[in-house]
Structure formats: structure tokens, C-alpha cells
Chains A and B, each alone.
Chain A
Amino acid sequence: MTSSEQALARDASSADAGPGSLTGEPGPARGAQGRGTTPAPSSWRSRLYRWDMKASPYAFISPFFIIFGAFSLVPLLYTAWYSLHNVQLSSLDTQTWAGLDNYKNLFTSDFFWNALKNTFSIGVISTVPQLIAALWLAHMLNYRLRGSVVWRVVVLTPYATSVAAATLVFVLLFSPDTGMVNWLLDLVGMDPVNWRESDWGSQFAVSSIVIWRWTGYNALIYLAAMQAIPADLYESAALDGANRWKQFRHVTIPMLRPTILFTVVVSTIGATQLFGEPLLFGGVSGTKGGSEHQYQTLGLYMYDQGWIVGNLGKASAIAWSMFLILLVIAAINLLITRRLRKTQ
């Protein structure tokens, strides 16, 4: 997994041993336990108390595990089961064994590979500029600013906008005939782009919605990490004659590396699941990802196959394929993290 999650792991395992943890076990006589060892006022009470100490941690964590188990973990396994069956939306009661047919159909379908390719390319053109812009923005927000809180709130505003609302606006802004974007392009003397039909144009338009909504969020994460960099590092860099750019390059970026890796992973996971933006960007032809499937992502393909075509078995196979792709990405990331740590 990610470097940060490893950090979490270390943190988590040290937690129990830490001085902050309370013992539920007898241990040094404390509280009612101490009372219980002397002639007990009422022994059922101390027994109840001991039982309370033992059981309550499990009671406190059980809602998470019960609900998560019932609505995520068990379904995850059932999705695998359904992916090996023929399950049609029109006749839910008859589910027949299909073996690997769903997967075979998937891997021989041009639409699947097209969706995979689109997911990848939209992922790259939405994630890379977004994180670079976020880094730049965070760097500027880290200066001593007038009204620093106001700036932070303003750049985070898109985060409060829903996928649906944001996409509907961007559809109009990117309208090929009357949209604001083409009008601006015309102003600076450039040819209009067909943001609906062209391959890269439509993918760029879809990506811009993602970039708009998430840049500020990532900037705040970077800003938090930047503020934790000790000032002496900058002072000694300045003494060595490093200008602002060199300080950014040789102090800020290396210190931020774990955070950057974290945002890369999280954005990648998000990009793999991209769904709402292309769906609404396409309007009536939304689930197809445009007239020529130009921006049909895997998430969209799953929804289309499952709930428009009505083949839930195939949709399950798509879901599991997405999961496997995510695991591969996580593995690659782990390798890169290890390599980076070694070279440090």
C-alpha cells in the first residue's frame, strides 16, 4: 500500500503499547476493580463492571464492522459470485452458472479496452495538471498573506459543489456553438474546438471538471504538509545562497514527497472510478460516453452494461476487473515507494 498507510500501520501498532492506553485487564488496582478486591459491596456489580470493561471496546467498534461487513465486504464477495453467473436485470430470479464467460466477453470486447484506455488517458490529463496546480497553489498560500483564511475557503469552494451541478455548468461552458470556452478561444484568435465529438477535446472537457473540483482540496493537503516543514531548513538553505525557486525545489519538494505520493495514489483511485462527470457530460448519450464512446470510462461502462443493457453479471465482472486494476496500481506504487526510500 502507500507509504502513508505504512506510516499509519506503524502508528497504529504502537498505539496499544503507548502510555496513553488504558488497561481493561486487572493490572494495577484501579477504580472499582480495587474496590472489588476488598469485601465487595455487591459482587454482581463488580462482575458487571469487569464485563463492561471487557466487552465495551468490542461494542464500540462493532457498528463499523457490522455495517461495513454487511454492505461492503459481503457484497464484494457476492459481486465475484455474480460475475461468474448470467444475471439479467429483466429476469432476476433465474441466475445460471456462466463460468468465466462474462470475463471472456469482456476481454474480447472493444468497448472494454476502449473504456480502459479512456479511463487511463482521462486519469492522466485530470490528475497530473491538478496536482501540479495544487502544489503551486499551496506554495503561494504558504506565503504570509492578507486574509489567508479567505483565500483557503475560496479555493476550496468547488469542493462543496456536487459532481452533478458542476458538470451541468461545464456542459454549457464547453458547448461547441455558444459556449464560453469557444467564445474565449475566438477572442484570442484560435479555432473553436468541438468539445463534444473530438477525442481529446471531450476528454479534456471531462477532465477539467475533475481538476476544477479537486485542485483546491489537494492544495490544502499540500499546504498542511508544507507548514510542518521546519523553518531552519529554509534558513540554512538561504544561508547557502538558495533563492526561492531553489528552496522550493530542494527543500519543499523532498520534504513533501510522502504527501505527494499519497495524493497521487488517492487521485489515481478516484480516476479509476470516474463516473458522474462523463455520465452527465454526455447528456442523453451519457452512459455511452459520447456518440463514439470517446469518453466512456470503466465506471460508466459498468453502469451501462448493468443498468441500461441489463446484464448484471457482466457489470459484476467489470467491477472486479476494476478492483484488480486498482490492486496492480497499489502494488506498483508500493514498489516505487520502496525504491524511493532506498535511494534516500
Chain B
Amino acid sequence: MTTITDVTPVPAPAPAPPGPKRRGMGAGKQLHAGPVTYAVLVLFAVISLAPLVWTAIAASRTNTRLAQTPPPFWFGGNLFKNLQTAWEQASMGTAMLNSVIVASTITIGTVVFSTLAGFAFAKLKFRFSSTLLLMTIGTMMIPPQLAVVPLYLWMSDLGWSNQLQTVILPTLVSAFGTFFMRQYLVQALPTELIEAARVDGASSLRVVWHVVFPAARPAMAVLGLLTFVMAWNDFLWPIIALNQENPTVQVALNSLGTGYIPDDSVIMAGALLGTLPLLIAFLLFGKQIVGGIMQGAVKG
């Protein structure tokens, strides 16, 4: 968990209870779910998905129709018009491009730096390593609000206001990511493999490139997905650091939502646009993201 990202609850996975590593209920002794369980699960699923579906419905209607009761339950014909208006009013084109640049850079930085540091903490011996690892974990406690005022002042001094590097730089590393990679590499990277490379006279960088990165690839993918979601959704620092001329998607949505002439169907179209890229990614990689959160939680 980096400092500036995740203003909202939770992103860190639960380092798990120290306890038996053996899978219990998962090992075939599980109870079968009854019809009541399925019914409640369906209810949870509906609550999870309904607001998203309804966003699309509202985005396809007119503002006047949204202002009537009962609210619309099915799609209307105004979707493309609303999307177009939102695209222009909130400079969604720039916003999407900016968000892609910001989230991708942060993701690459976080994954590479976390893997390097995680490898050092997992497999290399150096002075103060355990103290430094503890410090890394401890930094997760520091709330992002504490850095915001000085960062704002310094970035203004540098003439970096409204520029993307302002958002990218503070979020480029992650304490959570470092710890996540360390936990993975302790088990997944055989020490003999590194030793063998050493015997062949490989330098540390060669070891990283030819041994560590390949071994870490699954965890890197998961950390990358989690980081991308977090970076795309980051809110506090971008709305302080960027203005409406050069926004990320969240800044653009904020300006749509706090506009003085609210057109609800256009706002919903904007919300849809801002969520769609992540929803598509989620559809494609949902299984890995779920696995990543559960893995982060179990590997204590």
C-alpha cells in the first residue's frame, strides 16, 4: 500500500493468522450449499451488480425520464448521445488517456521495484534487513493525507502542477507490494537456483533477470492487476494535484458530479465511461484478482 493511493478502506491484504497451512474445508469435506444459501448468494450478487447495470440504464435515458418515478428499469435510446456529451463536457478523452498513462506507469514501477526489494528481503542477507523490512511494513500505517500539503507546495514550486508526474512519482513504490513479493519469493524461488547461477558467475542483475523475474511472474501479474485497479481509482491526491484541463478519469468525474448544471443521464454516462475499462479488465482477469486477494490474505 503506497502512501498516496487508496484513500478508501482496505487495499492491504490480511497477513493471515499464524496457523495450520493445511487446507481444511477446501479439501473435499466441504458441506454442500443448500437452496437457501444459493438464494442469499443471488441476493448478494444482485446488490453487487445492480448499481452497475443501473448506471448503464440511466446513461441510456434522458434527464427528464430520470426525474420521474418510478425510475427506469430498462434501456432507452439515448446512450450514444449522452456518452458523447460526457466525453466532451468532462474532457473524457484526455482523462482516459491520462489515466492509462498514470496507472500503467505506476503499475510497472510498483511491480518492478517491489520485486527487486521483495527478492532482497526474501533471499539476500544484508545488515539491518529485518529492521528495514519491519520499517517497510510499518509505513503502511501512515495515511496519505499527511503528505498532501507539502507535496502540493513543492510540486507548485517545481512548476509541476497539473502535470502527470506529480501524480505518478509519489505512488511509484508500494510497501504492500514489497511485502507481497517477499512473501511469494520466500517460497516460490528455490535458493539452489540462485546459487547455481552464482556458481556460473552471474552478477546480481543477471540473477534478477534470468532467475528472479521468471520465478516471480505469477505474483507480479497479480500485484500488477491490484496496483492498476488502485491507481486507476485513486482520488485524493489527483484531485488536489490536477485540474480540469488535464484530469485523470476520477478528476473528470469529480468535475462532472460537482458541476453546477447537473444532467444526471450525462453524469451516469461519464460514470459508465470511467468504470468500463476496469470492468472489462475485471471480466478478463477477475479470477486472478480474486486469487491474488485470497493469496495475499493467506500467506502470512
Binding site for B on A (CB under 8 A): 1, 4-5, 7-13, 15-16, 18-25, 30-32, 35, 49, 52-54, 56-61, 63-65, 67-68, 71-76, 78-79, 82, 87, 92, 137, 140-145, 149, 151-173, 177-180, 183, 210, 212-214, 216-218, 220-221, 223-235, 244, 255-259, 262-263, 266-267, 269-277, 279-280, 283-284, 286, 299, 302-303, 306-307, 312, 315-316, 319-320, 322-323, 326, 330
Contacts and interface: CB of A to CB of B under 8 A. Distances in A.
Contacts of A5: 15, 137-138
Contacts, number: 456
Contacts of A156: 282, 286, 289-290, 293
B87 interface: no
Contact of B271 (A151, A168, A267): A168
B146 A79 contact: yes
> Which has the most chain A C-beta neighbours within 10 Å: B8, B21, B147, B172?
B8
Contacts of A307: 240
Closest 4 CB pairs of A and B: A270-B9, A56-B204, A71-B170, A153-B286
Contacts of A279: 254
Interface size class of B (residues with CB under 8 A): 35 or more
A225 B48 contact: no
A15 B133 contact: yes
Given A142-B25, A156-B290, A168-B257, A163 B233 contact: yes
A343 B214 CA distance: 46
A302 B138 CA distance: 24
B250 A60 contact: no
A323 B16 contact: no
B49 interface: yes
A144 B251 CA distance: 43
Contact of A267 (B9, B16, B21, B262): B9
Contact of B9 (A31, A141, A169, A271): A271
Nearest to B229: A160
Given A68-B173, A178-B67, A322 B145 contact: yes
A143 to B, nearest CB: 4
B146 A23 contact: no
Contact of B260 (A15, A151, A284, A316): A284
B150 interface: yes
A143 B142 contact: no
Nearest to B235: A276
B97 interface: no
Contacts of B55: 165, 169
B274 to A, nearest CB: 5
B198 interface: yes
Contacts of B264: 172
A10 B16 CA distance: 13
A223 B282 contact: no
> Which has the most chain B C-beta neighbours within 10 Å: A22, A151, A164?
A164
B7 A276 contact: yes
B19 interface: yes
User: Chain A: interface secondary structure?
Assistant: helix
Contacts of B101: none
Interface stretch (B76-84, B118-126, B215-223): B118-126
A323 B143 contact: yes
5 contacts: A13-B134, A67-B169, A72-B142, A169-B52, A286-B257
A268 B90 CA distance: 34
A206 to B, nearest CB: 12
Contacts of B40: 140
Given A12-B137, A228-B21, A326-B143, A276 B8 contact: yes
Given A15-B129, A286-B258, A315-B148, 18 more contacts: A4-B17, A8-B15, A12-B133, A20-B122, A30-B198, A56-B124, A73-B139, A78-B150, A140-B33, A149-B290, A178-B67, A221-B14, A221-B293, A227-B298, A266-B12, A275-B235, A322-B146, A323-B146
A299 B195 contact: no
Given A276-B236, A326-B141, A164 B293 contact: no
A78 B151 CA distance: 9
B256 A168 contact: yes
B91 to A, nearest CB: 15
Nearest to A35: B201
Contacts of B49: 154, 157
A320 B254 CA distance: 26
Contacts of A58: 120, 126
A178 B68 contact: yes
B257 A67 contact: no
Contacts of A169: 51-52, 54-55, 58, 268, 271
A257 B203 CA distance: 45
Contact of B44 (A52, A92, A137, A274): A137
A323 B146 CA distance: 7
A271 B9 CA distance: 6
Contact of B130 (A16, A229, A274): A16
Contacts of B254: 164, 279-280
A13 B48 contact: no
A230 B149 contact: no
B45 A155 contact: yes
Interface in B62-96: 66-71
Interface in B201-247: 201, 203-205, 208, 229, 232-233, 235-236, 240
A20 B188 CA distance: 11
Contact of B23 (A78, A158, A228): A228
B136 A64 contact: yes
Interface in B252-287: 253-254, 256-258, 260, 262, 264, 267-268, 270-272, 274-275, 278-279, 281-282, 286-287
Contacts of B33: 140, 143-145
Contact of A228 (B9, B24, B47, B114): B24
